[in-house]
Amino acid sequence: MSKRFTARTVATAAVLALTATGLGVPANAAPSNSRTFTVVAEDGVAADTAVAAIRAAGGTVVSRSDEVGMFQVSSDRADFAARATAAPTLIGAAEQKAIGRKPKLDRVEQEHLTAAAGARAGANAARKGAKLDPLDDKLWGLEMIRADKARKIEPGDRRVTVGVLDTGVDASNPDIAPNFNWSLSRNFAPDLIDVDGACEVPSCLDPVGTDDGGHGTHVAGTIGAAANGFGLSGVAPNVSLVELKGGQDSGYFFLDPVVNALVYAGKSGIDVVNMSFYVDPWLYNCTANPADSPADQAEQRAIIKAMKRALTFAHNKGVTLVGALGNNNEDLGAPRTDVTSPDYGADPYPRPIDNESCWNLPTEGPHVIGVSSVGPSGKKSDFSNYGTEQISVAAPGGWFRDGFGTDTFRTDANMILSAYPKHVLQEEESVDADGNIVAGFENSVFKQCKANGECGYYTYLQGTSMASPHAAGVAALIVSRYGKAQGRTGFGMSPDQVEQHLYRTAAEHACPEPRLQQYRNEGRDETYDAYCAGGVNFNGFYGYGIVDAYAAVKTPFKPNARP
């Protein structure tokens, strides 16, 4: 998940509520009494009919996504949301309002930086990895999924496009630059001063090829960093990387940018989209949870409907959707009572979760390949969500606490190394103003420079956010290997066929014995206990298995084969 939202105690990823200025209004606009809402129409309602209902309720449409029946609306009526929800042609309206800021460090993805100094003492033990680019010997994940062998058969096709729906992508990194697709990349998330701080540019719309959060760049590097003899390489080092900026600089993900990015991906012919986030302020969006107020129920129904429509639209247009399963150490098929929602704007309260009417989005949405995280040992990461209902496959996501009883225990090398923007590392105080690594961070941050002085920076993170791009990279290799020409200029492969082949070629992994996995040695209490249900072919920890890039490109594609 995104760095802002991987642990529920910190807060989770894509928030519906945003600033009072809203996404359709410049962040530097003068204050007014007008508020901004996201409005979603009922099924089968024509866009013009929905617009008429919005106007009748006292709203003005600022922007619209007719493909999914979603509208951004401004209104100065205090009762607009209630009036819109009461309209028979509208599902509901959710106000977009400020919800807070990210913490300086994420407690899951950056656990190595929040750990007690004593727990991190000493240098990292060397980890065997694929030696391709200079830092690839630190990429145990590449070797685990046999991506180093896969590229000898299929390194990726430049025509295959992978959308990184995230906080942006730093295209200045020498490992990202060769594969960055400038013509297709877009920013759907203008800066919002209430959550992102001051705008870096007058328009408040950061140019593509930049990333003020870092998360998206890390994800992009794992998917497709170039194998160019510099820095490190990705799972699919020859594919094209497309920035779909749907997350704020602060790490928040809001409904409008995410839906618009998914619609754009479908209309633009993007082959694969990676999604390492989920929609807040509710841990689970429910259709009619008795614990929620009528207004909150309407808001959640709008989120559910808009996300499901957007995911379905993208899928039907040929996009393979890959999503992080989440870092709440929870069985998504048997969710616990939610005691953390809403995250902001009101005090959280206990919400019993009905699995039949509540969704964790986008990972529980239609057509999404859900990915859990494993550490170097192959053991499920303690933080990773799981469960036979939603899991599809597992992939290397890192686990700082892996290797108990060995010299690798609680070392940075257990995590996932990838590209990261220099200025974000400077903000996190691990790189100084001169671009040098600060003392004490030599094992977690790396700098590589060319003879001309051009440098790239890399750091470790962990999470299902890091597992998902490994799977997305393999999906991109499948499209590259088995895709066909489509139309006069297109190239691609049916998402259903990509998904089928990904599952069929994953390396099966049985449940541990005993099946109740505990993490006491790693310092975790009983809330991290996880029961692995299922057999070797499919189970709640590994799904159909750990993704296998080599098997995916070597095994002949069979259109009607089953996993």
Sign of the four-CA dihedral 293, 298, 299, 303? positive
pLDDT of residue 128: 54
Q: What is the number of other CB atoms lying within 10 angstroms of the CB of residue 9?
A: 10
* Entry pTM: 0.92
What residue has token string 């082959």? 271
Sign of the four-CA dihedral 5, 162, 320, 267? positive
Q: Based on C-alpha coordinates, what's the Rg of the chain?
A: 22
Could you tell me which of 249, 391, 245 has the C-alpha nearest to residue 324?
A: 391
Low-confidence ranges of the chain (pLDDT < 70): 1-32, 97-105, 115-131, 279-280, 343-345, 488
Residue 63 contacts residue 25 (beta carbons within 8 Å): no
Provide CB contacts within 8 A for 356, sequence distance 6+: none
pLDDT of residue 132: 84
Q: What is the number of other CB atoms lying within 10 angstroms of the CB of residue 364?
A: 24
pLDDT of residue 252: 81
Distance CA 3, CA 215 (A): 6
Provide the strand spans (E) within 167-295: 186-187, 240-245, 272-275, 279-280, 285-286
Residue 382 contacts residue 329 (beta carbons within 8 Å): yes
Judged on CB neighbours under 10 Å (0-12, 13-18, 19+), 201 is exposed
Count how many Cα atoms sit within 13 Å of the Cα of residue 31 in the half-sphere of its side chain.
2
pLDDT of residue 419: 98
| Distance, C-alpha 496 to centroid of its chain | 21
| pLDDT, tens only, 433-446 | 999 999 999 999 99
Residue 341 contacts residue 364 (beta carbons within 8 Å): no
pLDDT of residue 26: 41
Count how many Cα atoms sit within 13 Å of the Cα of residue 421 in the half-sphere of its side chain.
20
Q: What's phi and psi for 5, nearest 5 deg?
A: -130, 25
Sign of the four-CA dihedral 154, 155, 158, 162? positive
| pLDDT, tens only, 18-58 | 322 233 444 444 445 789 999 999 999 999 999 999 999 99
Distance CA 68, CA 43 (A): 9
Distance CA 433, CA 348 (A): 40
- Determine the 3-state secondary structure of 456 from DSSP: strand
Count how many Cα atoms sit within 13 Å of the Cα of residue 234 in the half-sphere of its side chain.
38
Q: Cite the DSSP H helix spans in 184-291.
A: 193-196, 215-224, 255-268
Residue 74 contacts residue 57 (beta carbons within 8 Å): no
DSSP letter at 517 equals E
pLDDT of residue 484: 94
Distance CA 283, CA 533 (A): 24
pLDDT of residue 25: 41
pLDDT of residue 196: 84
Distance CA 542, CA 221 (A): 24
Distance CA 26, CA 14 (A): 21
Q: What's phi and psi for 30, nearest 5 deg?
A: -65, 145
